[in-house]
């Protein structure tokens, strides 16, 4: 189904946006075709002695605004078209949130849950060695994404440092730690990076609601996806006075129409049991036997999308919202914390139904915004407090949301198209500007 091919969809989104904005045809061509595509083989010796060869990808979509930037994901469904779309969305996202980065993305077609820790490390280090020639603090800066984390980033960083030691010219004046973001604190990571995507999503939602003159207090929310992003978002929305009523992960979910009493306790329960289903908590006691008392119900990750709530948050994978289930969505706001969770047909259904879709490239850009802060701290050998990081994140999210909302109101176009117009504006002005160094005095 072409509709579900993310790269086909991404190009369609670009063309729609280009019809709203006078874009240089050469720039359009550049955005329709990634700058560079890297495909590598990742042979791994498994614990039983057998050899398995995985496929690794890195797409460097565009670097008009700065070094390529975007995550690395580990998932059995990773393929070139998915990575191209995700890299393109990074170009757009970075332009929208206003960080000096281009767009890139990568991954390996592996289910990390089926690997032992040692296998995961061997796979990652091999992938890291294969990526080393094409990454660098001023060239391409990867980060975590689906199923990857600070530990995986550290292995890649170590392989990078190891390799470049022998090529001294490449590291001159550069802090090699800046080659990757989303690192643990002790490896040069930034305070606030783990919270960033969820917190940024919360700022985006509050800011759009404010412009719609709606109060957040009491609004009900359902979140599909309770990994790093979904769990922080849930906590921040709870703090903002919203009522989180349903949560799901890949295995199942919990639904309490009156509101989930404490997201933190649910988080602890999931950490302990490895799954969300059954995490019905009264105080710190979490058990399925509490379900009835709390008026709770079991809910599947699919059915959570159709609940009668005010705000629906797809925070898992692509293509969660399709033409089949979009008609059944009752929320008036969809906050896209996953990348590409809404197919083109579902988007159309939301548009005609008047549902406000806060698009991925805006809603989840808090992650890369704080990645930029991390990169900046590494490059300038600084250390920022968490308060400073959160304050700067809030400013960035609010200013991007205001701009996108204004463009949307002025041109009477949905927020997604408006976000793309904002991106095209900044890509165009940089593209038309003088090449770097032209302003310097010639000697």
Q: Which residue is nearest to ligand GLU (CB)?
A: 71
Q: Which residue number, 243 or 394, has a Cβ lying nearer to ligand GLU?
A: 394
User: Counting contacts by CB under 6 A, is residue 318 touching ligand GLU?
Assistant: no
Q: Could you tell me the sign of the dihedral formed by the alpha carbons of 146, 105, 137, 397, in that order?
A: negative
Q: Which residue number, 58 or 69, has a Cβ lying nearer to ligand GLU?
A: 69
User: Counting contacts by CB under 6 A, is residue 367 touching ligand GLU?
Assistant: yes
User: Counting contacts by CB under 6 A, is residue 75 touching ligand GLU?
Assistant: no
Per annotation, catalytic residue among 69, 84, 93, 105: 105
- The residue ranges of DSSP E strands in 326-409, in sequence order, are 333-335, 356-358
The stretch among 37-45, 166-174, 361-369, 424-432 that binds ligand GLU (CB under 6 A) is: 361-369
- The residue ranges of DSSP E strands in 269-310, in sequence order, are 281-282, 285-286, 297-299
DSSP annotation of 216: -
Structure tokens at 260: 């989930």
Return the residue matching tokens 């408006």. Answer: 418
User: Counting contacts by CB under 6 A, is residue 58 touching ligand GLU?
Assistant: no
Q: How far is the CB of 51 from ligand GLU (least distance, A)?
A: 30
The stretch among 63-71, 211-219, 262-270, 432-440 that binds ligand GLU (CB under 6 A) is: 63-71
Q: How far is the CB of 443 from ligand GLU (least distance, A)?
A: 37
Q: Which residue number, 343 or 365, has a Cβ lying nearer to ligand GLU?
A: 365
Indicate the helix (H) or strand (E) that contains 30: helix 25-32
User: Counting contacts by CB under 6 A, is residue 143 touching ligand GLU?
Assistant: yes
Q: Quick check: 17 and 420 in contact, CB under 8 A?
A: yes
Q: How far is the CB of 401 from ligand GLU (least distance, A)?
A: 16
Structure tokens at 279: 């995490």
Q: Residues 13, 235, 364, 377: which binds ligand GLU (CB under 6 A)? A: 364
Helices within 175-259 (DSSP H only): 196-211, 228-239
Residue 105 among the catalytic residues: yes
Under 8 Å CB-to-CB from 297, ≥6 apart: which residues?
255, 256, 291
Which candidate, 152, 150, 146, 104, places its Cα nearest to that of 127? Answer: 152
Which candidate, 64, 63, 102, 87, places its Cα nearest to that of 10? Answer: 87
Which residues are marked as active site?
A: 105
Judged by the rule CB under 6 A, the positions of this chain that interact with ligand GLU are 69-71, 143, 145, 181-182, 339, 364, 367-368, 371
């Amino acid at each position: 189904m072409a509709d579900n091919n993310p790269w086909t969809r991404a190009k369609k989104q670009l063309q729609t946006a280009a019809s709203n904005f006078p874009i240089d045809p050469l720039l359009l061509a550049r955005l329709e075709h990634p700058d560079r595509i890297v495909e590598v083989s990742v042979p791994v010796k498994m614990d039983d002695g057998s050899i398995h060869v995985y496929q690794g990808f890195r797409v460097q979509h565009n670097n008009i605004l700065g070094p390529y930037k975007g995550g690395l994901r580990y998932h059995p469904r990773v393929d070139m078209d998915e990575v191209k779309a995700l890299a393109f969305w990074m170009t757009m996202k970075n332009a929208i949130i206003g960080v000096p980065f281009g767009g890139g993305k990568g991954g390996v077609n592996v289910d990390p849950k089926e690997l032992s820790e040692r296998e995961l490390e061997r796979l990652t280090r091999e992938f890291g060695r294969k990526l080393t020639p094409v990454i660098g603090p001023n060239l391409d800066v990867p980060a975590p994404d689906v199923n990857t984390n600070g530990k995986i980033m550290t292995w890649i960083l170590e392989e990078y440092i190891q390799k470049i030691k022998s090529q001294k010219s490449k590291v001159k004046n550069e802090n090699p730690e800046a080659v990757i973001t989303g690192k643990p604190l002790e490896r040069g990571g930034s305070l606030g990076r783990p919270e960033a995507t969820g917190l940024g999503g919360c700022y985006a939602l509050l800011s759009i609601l404010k412009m719609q003159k709606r109060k957040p207090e009491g609004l009900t929310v359902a979140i599909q996806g309770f990994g790093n992003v979904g769990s922080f978002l849930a906590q921040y929305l709870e703090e903002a006075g919203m009522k989180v009523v349903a949560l799901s992960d890949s295995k199942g979910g919990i639904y309490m129409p009156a509101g989930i009493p404490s997201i933190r306790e649910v988080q602890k329960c999931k950490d302990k049991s490895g799954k969300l289903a059954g995490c019905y908590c009264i105080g710190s006691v979490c058990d399925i036997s509490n379900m009835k008392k709390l008026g709770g119900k079991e809910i599947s990750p699919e059915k959570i999308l159709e609940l009668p709530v005010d705000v629906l948050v797809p925070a898992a994978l692509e293509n969660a919202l399709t033409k089949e289930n979009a008609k059944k969505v009752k929320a008036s706001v969809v906050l896209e914390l996953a990348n590409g969770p809404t197919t083109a047909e579902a988007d159309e259904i939301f548009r005609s139904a008047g549902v406000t879709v806060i698009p991925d490239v805006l809603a989840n850009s808090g992650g890369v915004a704080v990645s930029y802060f991390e990169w900046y701290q590494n490059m300038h050998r600084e250390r920022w407090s968490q308060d400073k990081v959160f304050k700067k994140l809030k400013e960035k999210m609010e200013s991007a949301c205001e701009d996108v909302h204004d463009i949307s109101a002025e041109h009477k176009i949905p927020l997604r198209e408006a976000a793309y117009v904002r991106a095209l504006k900044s890509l165009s002005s940089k593209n038309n500007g003088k090449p770097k160094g032209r302003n310097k005095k010639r000697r």
